[in-house]
A and B are shown apart, each in its own frame.
Chain A
Amino acid sequence: MEKDIINISWHGRGGQGAITAAKIVATASFQTGYTGVVMVPTFGTERRGAPVMTSLKISKEKIYDLSPIENPDIAVVLDYLLLDEINIVEGLKQGGILVVNTPKPSDSYTYNGIRVATADITAIADESGLAYGMVNSGIIGAFAKASSLIDIDVLANAIREEFKDRKPEENARAALVTYERTIINYGD
Chain B
Amino acid sequence: MHTIESGNTAAALGVKLARAQVIAAYPITPQTPLTEKLSEFIESGQMKAAYIPVESEHSALAVCIAASTAGARAFTATSANGLLYMHEQLHWAAGARLPIVMCVVNRGVGAPWTVWNDQQDSISQRDTGWIQIYINDHQEIIDTTIKAFRIAEEVNIPVMVCYDGYILSHTYMPFDVPDQKSVDRFLPPYKPENCLDPNAPTNLNSVTLPDVRTNIRGELAHGYMELRYLLQEDLRKSIDVITTIEQDYKKIFNRGEGACLEEYRCEDASFIAVGMGSLAFHLRVAADALRKEGIKVGVVGIRLYRPFPDEAVSFALSKADGVIVFEKAISYGYMGPLCSDITSALYKDANPPFVHNYILGIGGRTIKTDALIDAIRNSCSRPEGSDTADSLRWIGLKI
B:235-275 near A, CB below 8 Å: none
Contact B174 A37 (CB under 8 A): yes
Cβ-defined partner of A40 (8 Å) among B4, B167, B284, B368 = B167
CB-based nearest B residue for A70: B368
Contact B285 A65 (CB under 8 A): yes
Contact B285 A64 (CB under 8 A): yes
Contact B171 A41 (CB under 8 A): yes
Q: Give bound CA distance, A63 to B285, whole Å.
A: 9
Cβ of A64: which chain B residues have Cβ within 8 Å of it? 281-282, 284-285
Contact A26 B282 (CB under 8 A): no
Cβ of A37: which chain B residues have Cβ within 8 Å of it? 4, 173-174
Q: Give bound CA distance, A29 to B117, whole Å.
A: 28
CB of A1 within 8 Å of the partner chain: yes
CB of A23 within 8 Å of the partner chain: yes
Cβ-defined partner of B4 (8 Å) among A26, A43, A67 = A26
CB of B81 within 8 Å of the partner chain: no
Contact A26 B369 (CB under 8 A): no
Q: What is the distance, in angstroms, from B272's C-beta to the closest C-beta of chain A? A: 17
Q: What is the distance, in angstroms, from B275's C-beta to the closest C-beta of chain A? A: 11
Contact A30 B174 (CB under 8 A): yes
Of B173, B288, B366, B368, chain A has the most CB atoms within 10 Å of the CB of: B173
Cβ of A40: which chain B residues have Cβ within 8 Å of it? 167, 171
Contact A65 B282 (CB under 8 A): yes
Q: Give bound CA distance, A81 to B198, whole Å.
A: 68
Contact B369 A67 (CB under 8 A): yes
Q: Give bound CA distance, A40 to B173, whole Å.
A: 9
Q: Give bound CA distance, A152 to B284, whole Å.
A: 34
Contact B288 A1 (CB under 8 A): yes
CB-based nearest A residue for B283: A64
Report the contact-size class of chain A (Cβ under 8 Å from the partner): 10 to 19
Number of residue pairs spanning A and B whose beta carbons lie under 8 angstroms apart:
54
CB of A35 within 8 Å of the partner chain: yes
Q: Give bound CA distance, A1 to B373, whole Å.
A: 13
Q: Give bound CA distance, A27 to B2, whole Å.
A: 11
CB-based nearest A residue for B164: A66
Of B168, B172, B292, chain A has the most CB atoms within 10 Å of the CB of: B172
Cβ of A70: which chain B residues have Cβ within 8 Å of it? 368
CB-based nearest B residue for A64: B281
Q: Give bound CA distance, A40 to B366, whole Å.
A: 13
Q: What is the distance, in angstroms, from A78's C-beta to the closest C-beta of chain B? A: 18
Q: What is the distance, in angstroms, from A64's C-beta to the closest C-beta of chain B? A: 4
Contact A38 B172 (CB under 8 A): yes
Q: Fill in one digit per residue for B264-305: 1 if any A CB lies within 8 Å of its CB, else 0.
A: 000000000000001001101100110010000000000000
CB-based nearest B residue for A40: B171
Q: Give bound CA distance, A41 to B6, whole Å.
A: 11
CB of A53 within 8 Å of the partner chain: no
Contact B366 A27 (CB under 8 A): no
Given A27-B4, A30-B4, A67-B369, the answer on whether A43 and B288 have CB atoms closer than 8 Å is: no
Q: What is the distance, in angstroms, from B330's C-beta to the closest C-beta of chain A? A: 21
Contact B171 A38 (CB under 8 A): yes
Cβ of B174: which chain A residues have Cβ within 8 Å of it? 30, 35, 37
CB of B91 within 8 Å of the partner chain: no
Q: Give bound CA distance, A126 to B168, whole Å.
A: 36
Contact B171 A66 (CB under 8 A): yes
Among all A-B residue pairs, the 10 with the closest Cβ atoms: A64-B281, A39-B172, A40-B171, A38-B173, A65-B285, A64-B284, A64-B285, A27-B4, A66-B167, A30-B174
Residues of chain A whose beta carbon lies under 8 Å from any beta carbon of chain B: 1, 23, 26-27, 30, 35, 37-41, 43, 63-68, 70
Known contacts A65-B369, A66-B282; 9 additional CB pairs below 8 A are A23-B4, A38-B171, A39-B172, A41-B166, A43-B115, A43-B170, A63-B173, A66-B171, A70-B368
